[in-house]
Structure 1
Amino acid sequence: MKLFKKILKIIGYVLVVVVLAAIISYGVVYIKGYNNSKKNMALLGKEAPTIEQDGFKYRDLNKNGKLDTYEDFNALVNERVDDLLSQMNLDEKAGLMFITMINMNSEGKPIDIPVISTNMMQMAFSFMLPPASDMIVKKKMRSFNILSSYDAHIMATFNNTIQKIAERSRLGIPITLATDPRHGTENNPGASIYTSAFSQWPSSLGLAATRDTLLVCEFGNIARQEYRSIGLTLTLSPMADLATEPRWGRINGTFGEDAQLSAAITKAYILGFQGDSLNNKSVACMAKHFSGGGPQKDGEDPHFPYGKEQVYPGNNFDYHLIPFIKGAFAAHTASIMPYYGIPIDQTNENVAFAFNKEIITNLLRDSLKFDGVVCTDWNIISKSKLGEPRSWGVENLTTSQKVKKILDAGCDQFGGEDIPNEIVELVKAGQISEDRIDQSVKRILREKFKLGLFDNPYVDVDKANKIAGNNAFRAKGKLAQQKSIVLLKNKNLLPLKKGSKIYAKGITNPKAFKNYAVLVDNPKDADFILNRINTPYDKRDKYFLEGFFHQGRLYYNEEEKKEILNLIQQKPSVVVVNLERPAILIEIANKSDALLAEFGATDEVLLNILFGEVKPTGKLPFEIPLTWEAVQNQLEDMPYDSKDPLYPFGYGLTY
């Protein structure tokens, strides 16, 4: 007993020392961050005064007491761009060519000092990302994507706060705030961000399953209003990639495997966000991932080293261009993002898309005549706290050489990076001309001017909560969820009778059943069984972000399958599968009485379908394979090539 007490005492001392060391360490970090932030803010000038001329009010962004052409909203965009460019120094130009993540706290303030928080994601990124003032003030960066998810008024406050910081810079160049998609039910920092403040819609696959381009355009219009209400003016979407490789972990961000369907949905999506032309009410779209990021070797994603190869065994490269040509470019997408992967043997050198001049300049710029902003995918140049760079095909180049190769390839902006000094040094060393830098800066400025950011980048914080997620917007989102649900099998079971006793598994909102059925705790007491299940995948956690990507197998392992089948064989059963990818469902389909596919639908929406208040009308955006062997035998770049699929592309029943 004495020995045990002695051990506890030692452990107590050790814990005290560890806690004290942590407190002291954080204290050092805090003081250092505070002083750094104070020095940065001291470098800023005054806010932009207002100039009145000919009955109009203008923002004097460079504070020189007169109306410059770039401050004049009556001047032509190109004239404003040229005037501002002539006043910019090299540091300001270089800063404009970078976009990376920025963090905010729960009060809507930018984070300069790492925080201790119960929000683990916020705390992690506060330690991993550079201080906000370093990027805005020192590095003169003017584009950021946000990862945080708060109430609308908090995010609107953040926009206004950082825009005020930018306004106090020498030329007052405003900030473009960007985001990954926020209107689905998934939270994946590498692809999409769940935001309860906004209306909730089905995934991109679900939008395609509706086959309703007018509804998709309406989604874009609603999302545009919600984004603009909090200051977001650039969406890192849509994904015009094709789901021709069923194992790929990012299929749920696509519009399926059919190029013509994807093109039609892509076009409608962009028109909803941007309108017929980019203006001060638009949200600019960054369509991705040129020239099509779907044909991944063995379905592995190029966020990770094992997935760097894109392959074309069916010689079907051009098929993957169709959603861009007939969709993104037809709708005049503002920006384009290439993917991480290497298009194996499609060009003279096997390097990733953003480093590939034949892809960016020869194909995208010269052949397809795209003159908007081309921005690389995130973190392809330098090592950071987020991990190793995804510099596939050019891993041995130095940071400077990678930057030069990307510029030589024809890209304008660097995603997930904050190293504008590299561009400055390349110009000073004579390796890149300032004229080449000016080409990219013009494109980036042109987009900012068209979006109205120079005239008024601020939002009404009080209105943000009234616009974002209002009842009308949420109702439309629910309608889209309903229209996206696909009925795959119905053995004279659906629609169910109201008042039935149901044993439900996998539901999130038991209260939704109140007006439809009686929930029971034991399958033996039920008239019917409802089982909501997810698409299977291999769990991985070797690399940062890997845990968020559902990759690998599409079959249920023996344990998963046994659990599902044992339940649904006890009573007449309905199985609802959330399809992130084309799951192998043959045994579940055989044993269930009714089978439905959903792409992000609430329990409330699902019940409307199950009880016949709404008829299912969705159509599959991809094939459902019969076996794992069939999946393995498919060609990565070819659509509809699964042998004897359980359900073909476009399949869908109704009542």
Structure 2
Amino acid sequence: MPTPLTTLTAPDGTVFRDLDKDGVMAPFEDPRESVETRVEDLLGRMNLEEKAGLMFQTVIETSPDGTLVEQTGAISKSPTTVVVQEKLLNHFNVHVLPEGRLAARWHNNLQAVAEQTRLGIPVTVSTDPRHAFHENTGASFAAGHFSQWPDSLGLAAIGDTELVRQFADAARQEYLSVGIRAALHPCVDLATEPRWARQLNTFGETSQLVSDFTAAYLDGLQGPGGALSAESVACTTKHFPGGGPQKDGEDAHFPYGREQVYTGGTFEEHLAPFKVALEHKTAAMMPYYGMPVDLEIDGEKIEEVGFGYNKQIVTGLLREQMGFDGVVVTDWELVNDNKVATGQVLPARAWGVEHLDAPGRMEKIIHAGCDQFGGEECPDLLVQLVREGRVTEDRIDASVRRLLRVKFELGLFDDPYVDEDAADEIVGRADLVAAGLAAQSRSVTVLKNGDVDGSPVLPLTGSQRVYVVGMSDEDAARLGTVVTDPADADVAVVRLPAPWEHRDSMFLEAWFHQGSLDFSAETVAQVTELAAQVPVVLDVMLDRPAILTPLVDVATAIVGTYGTSDPALVAALTGEVKPEGRLPFQLPRSMEAVAASRPDVASDTTDPVFPVGHGLSI
């Protein structure tokens, strides 16, 4: 671990970090002072460029060996030293991470670079969810070296509030060990539009349950009651005021998905989990990209611009009505188009304000009440707005106070470094891995077990001849004797992803599972042909609902999963670990029923194949 460069001892024996390098313990360097005193002292020492740098959070990349990336990366726009010491940014969202020890080493190297700036303001490293299965550069990462749990939908399927808190605490321990001090989650949107691509990271469609899980999640990551400390990971709850009701289920990352609609009049239900997040002191809120259409609140028509630009939503609703004085960070890239190394371009999500140039978009975001620009690293534009008198420095100071407060509450100014040996022990620790694996099995949802006139097929005995599709033979061997010809099998186990339409015309689009929920005719034919030879146990990986209508009478048993490894599924199918899952959303009968439903209303498709809460015991 690098030795802090500027640790000194005051005449009274107080050890402090001499971040401004003048040999004297300033109030902001004094660990005994209140957070408010330290914030005001440091704010008074900062120049405009330093304040502006604080108001940006962008992607940073890592090296496999723990060194800093000193060239433009595949996603990051600047070498590390340039973005920290020249652009003066100190909030970074990390993507790929190496093993625990090397991740900690990279973090410490990053903090050492930040310590060399004029005021030595420490870096805050954030992450999207990274403890589950789904890999999506725009939303979440697979667990890798960390303990692996079911995705949030799987935790919701189990329905155990204490388990949600346990998971969040496990994530907190692993994050802390490698220096991650901010979580760009929980995602507490309601999964009311069956086609929406972001449901996997939600807790389902039921407002009260999502609210309960929100409280447990924040307590697990930030600490009991949500109060921040040196042992906390600060949460950004998203996507305010609820990102689920997307028109036609299209995602607002993309121009065709910009509209958010409340045709069922359920705005308050979507808002409810965010009220709980405030009660549990979420450190930050993130508005969604979506642009509300025909939305009225208390009789007032809401401007049809993306929520991050929307003063009525950020200042009027969140700050004034709901009383939130924490950080509001925008979702990624509201100001500039994203041009990546592949040559692909994703337009800035400037929904409703496409006509504005980059400075105009930034000005509107600031006046809406946001504190930080996600996915951007252009502080020069913000400085320009202040120099031109379009934004006052007092307005900048209000945001900087909020951002500094979180850093001080997390203890970063007193010691931002982590222990490589501890990281090596904690990341992927055996007890955390075991707990995650058990949760994967528990989340399995048994939808059907046996034909109407037949005996249940689950649990499997372990002595049968088994034909498998979508599962490794090694793991399937625990189900029985694996055979290569279905005609020789007693049972077939088939794992299928929920359907989606493959799109790849814009950056990130390929990772988002959007469009129809219908299985292809080819897939239905393959499963039907197999079922004519042998009883089929069908697992559908439900990152969003699937229409099971053509398969429900074909398969002998059907289970749903939300991030479950082959070994965890085997444990559930054999009854080694009891599958407890209950559907966190309904499974519609047809796309016609989906199209006729209201995007903001839970369980709004007619005559679903399986209702929310359905699940059998075995």
- Answer whether TM exceeds 0.5 for this pair: yes
- In 2, distance between residues paired with 1:47 and 1:154? 21
8 Å Cα contact 2:495-2:539 kept in structure 1: yes
8 Å Cα contact 1:573-1:592 kept in structure 2: yes
Q: Does 1:339 align with 2:288?
A: yes
- In 1, distance between residues paired with 2:528 and 2:77? 46
Identity over aligned pairs, percent? 46
Structure with larger Rg: 1
Q: Does 1:404 align with 2:352?
A: no
The equivalent residue for 1:463 is 422
What displacement does 1:53 show?
4.3
The 10-residue stretch of structure 1 (609-618 or 460-469) with the greater mean CA deviation from structure 2: 609-618
Deviations 1:565-587 (Å, cap 9, x if unpaired)? Answer: 22233211210110011100122
- In 1, distance between residues paired with 2:292 and 2:132? 30
The equivalent residue for 2:145 is 197
What displacement does 1:345 show?
2.2
The 10-residue stretch of structure 1 (546-555 or 516-525) with the greater mean CA deviation from structure 2: 516-525
The equivalent residue for 1:11 is none
- In 1, distance between residues paired with 2:8 and 2:65? 28
Give the residue type in structure 1 aligned to 2:46: M
What displacement does 1:165 show?
0.4
**Which of 492, 506, 509 is residue 470 of structure 2 equivalent to?**
506
8 Å Cα contact 1:341-1:392 kept in structure 2: yes
The equivalent residue for 1:248 is 196
Q: How does 1:37-76 map to 2 (within 5 A)?
A: 47-76=5-34
**Which of 352, 355, 360 is residue 314 of structure 2 equivalent to?**
360
Deviations 1:215-274 (Å, cap 9, x if unpaired)? Answer: 100100010000011110001001111111000111111111111111111111111000
Q: How does 1:551-570 map to 2 (within 5 A)?
A: 551-570=514-533
The equivalent residue for 2:339 is 385
The equivalent residue for 1:162 is 110
What displacement does 1:614 show?
2.4
The 10-residue stretch of structure 1 (596-605 or 289-298) with the greater mean CA deviation from structure 2: 596-605
- In 2, distance between residues paired with 1:559 and 1:510? 24
What displacement does 1:515 show?
4.0
- In 1, distance between residues paired with 2:100 and 2:281? 29
The equivalent residue for 1:39 is none
What displacement does 1:178 show?
0.4
- In 2, distance between residues paired with 1:53 and 1:442? 29
**Which of 544, 558, 564 is residue 601 of structure 1 equivalent to?**
564
Secondary structure in structure 1 of the residue aligned to 2:239:
strand
What displacement does 1:617 show?
1.3
The equivalent residue for 1:540 is 503
Give the TM-score, by structure 2 length.
0.95
The equivalent residue for 1:369 is 323
8 Å Cα contact 1:531-1:568 kept in structure 2: no
8 Å Cα contact 1:512-1:604 kept in structure 2: yes
- In 2, distance between residues paired with 1:239 and 1:605? 25
Q: How does 1:12-23 map to 2 (within 5 A)?
A: none
- In 1, distance between residues paired with 2:528 and 2:9? 72
- In 1, distance between residues paired with 2:475 and 2:109? 40
Give the residue type in structure 2 aligned to 1:410: G
Q: How does 1:431-580 map to 2 (within 5 A)?
A: 431-491=390-450, 492-507=456-471, 509-580=472-543
- In 2, distance between residues paired with 1:531 and 1:514? 14
What displacement does 1:56 show?
3.0
Give the residue type in structure 1 aligned to 2:14: F
- In 1, distance between residues paired with 2:236 and 2:265? 27
* Bigger helix fraction: 1
- In 1, distance between residues paired with 2:51 and 2:74? 31
**Which of 295, 300, 310 is residue 260 of structure 2 equivalent to?**
310
- In 2, distance between residues paired with 1:235 and 1:368? 22
Q: Does 1:324 align with 2:281?
A: no
Q: How does 1:93-172 map to 2 (within 5 A)?
A: 93-114=51-72, 124-125=74-75, 129-172=77-120
Give the residue type in structure 2 aligned to 1:457: P
Secondary structure in structure 2 of the residue aligned to 1:288:
strand
What displacement does 1:555 show?
0.5
- In 2, distance between residues paired with 1:239 and 1:510? 35
The equivalent residue for 1:81 is 39
- In 1, distance between residues paired with 2:611 and 2:335? 41
- In 1, distance between residues paired with 2:524 and 2:74? 36
Give the residue type in structure 2 aligned to 1:234: A
Q: How does 1:239-318 map to 2 (within 5 A)?
A: 239-276=187-224, 277-318=227-268
The 10-residue stretch of structure 1 (159-168 or 312-321) with the greater mean CA deviation from structure 2: 312-321
The equivalent residue for 1:623 is 586
- In 2, distance between residues paired with 1:567 and 1:287? 45
Give the TM-score, by structure 1 length.
0.90
The equivalent residue for 1:20 is none
What displacement does 1:137 show?
0.9
What displacement does 1:463 show?
1.6
Secondary structure in structure 2 of the residue aligned to 1:392:
coil
The equivalent residue for 1:21 is none
8 Å Cα contact 1:51-1:60 kept in structure 2: no
8 Å Cα contact 1:51-1:66 kept in structure 2: no
Q: Does 1:426 align with 2:380?
A: no
- In 2, distance between residues paired with 1:95 and 1:337? 19
Give the residue type in structure 1 aligned to 2:107: N
Give the residue type in structure 2 aligned to 1:504: V
Give the residue type in structure 1 aligned to 2:422: K
8 Å Cα contact 1:150-1:195 kept in structure 2: no
Deviations 1:576-618 (Å, cap 9, x if unpaired)? Answer: 1100111001221111111101111111111112112222211
5+ residue gaps, structure 2: 296-300, 451-455
Secondary structure in structure 1 of the residue aligned to 2:578:
coil
5+ residue gaps, structure 1: 1-45, 115-122
* Cα-Cα RMSD: 1.3
Deviations 1:472-491 (Å, cap 9, x if unpaired)? Answer: 00011012112211110111
What displacement does 1:330 show?
2.2
Give the residue type in structure 1 aligned to 2:303: E
Give the residue type in structure 1 aligned to 2:510: G
Deviations 1:334-386 (Å, cap 9, x if unpaired)? Answer: 00000111011224421100100000000000000011100000011012324
Deviations 1:474-529 (Å, cap 9, x if unpaired)? Answer: 0110121122111101111111112211001101x432334441111111111110
Distance 1:600 1:384, change over 3 A: closer
